[in-house]
Amino acid sequence: MKTVLITGCSSGYGLETARHFHARGWRVVATMRKPRAGLLPADERIQLLALDVTRTDSVAAAIEVAGPIDVLVNNAGVGLFGAFEATPMATVREVFETNTFGTMAMTQAAIPQLRARGTGTIVNVTSSATLAPMPLVAAYTASKTAIEGFTASLAHELGAFGVAVKLVEPGYAPSTRFAANGEERMRGLVPEAYAPYAQRVFAALTQVAEVTHESDVAEAVWRAANDSTGRLHFPAGADAVALAATN
């Protein structure tokens, strides 16, 4: 039985991905900052762990308690929408702490066991914002683009030891809690001067015909985790797939 450890399983992509792997017979280590009963089936193949990817001690403890894993899915992330001019650098650093450094910390903690066994896969979830520039998400896009470069380089580095590293790039997913989870962080980030422009951007988003669903991301992560072709990029969702085709 294979084991996958997934970060950010309290909702959205992470929760759906945990369900997806469990339904296919895997042992799932589902992590989140505050584990809640009832999110996933009460099953011996599911282990809920508390994990804050921004804390070194929490990362180390989760890796140790989880035991041997075959796949690490770095899904935990925070959103940010607003004018960069109005975004405090403390907020930018907060986003990078989770989206960028949290992913790196989890990866670094998992590498020794994967390298020693000469097998395994690391899947880093980024965003279709890395495929085509989008307005009012500059800091968020920067945090995800950093992981794109990190992953591409690491794929070569770990490939020498039989460990695969993949990217999953979800599209625009209005059904997730991206905006709600970052509501406090985003307050005041659209000042009056930017309001008309932001309204046009919001209006355009409501007209998007093809969007991404949680199940699209779960399936893309599944394919990435089981891929043996050397493929790096896995766009997730019809809109992300269309964007990737233009690049």
Question: By 3-state DSSP, what share of the chain in percent is helix, strand and coil, each rounded to 5?
Answer: 50, 15, 35
Q: Which domain holds residue 65?
A: 3-246
Nearest C-alpha neighbor of 68 from the set 123, 103, 31, 119: 119
Q: Into how many domains does the chain fold? A: 1
Annotation says 172 is catalytic: no
- CATH (domain of 97): 3.40.50.720
pTM for the model: 0.96
- Count CB-CB contacts under 10 A for residue 23: 12
Q: Which of 140, 172, 194, 197 is catalytic?
A: 140
Identity at 200, one-letter amino acid code: R
pLDDT string in tens for the chain (247-residue length): 999 999 999 999 999 999 999 999 999 999 999 999 899 999 999 999 999 999 999 999 999 999 999 999 999 999 999 999 999 999 999 999 999 999 999 999 999 999 999 999 999 999 999 999 899 999 999 999 999 999 999 999 999 999 999 999 999 998 886 656 667 788 889 999 999 999 999 999 888 889 999 999 999 999 999 999 999 999 999 999 999 999 8
Identity at 215, one-letter amino acid code: S
22 touches 41 (CB < 8 A): yes
Contacts of 76 (CB under 8 A, 6+ apart): 7, 8, 14, 31, 51, 53, 98, 102, 103
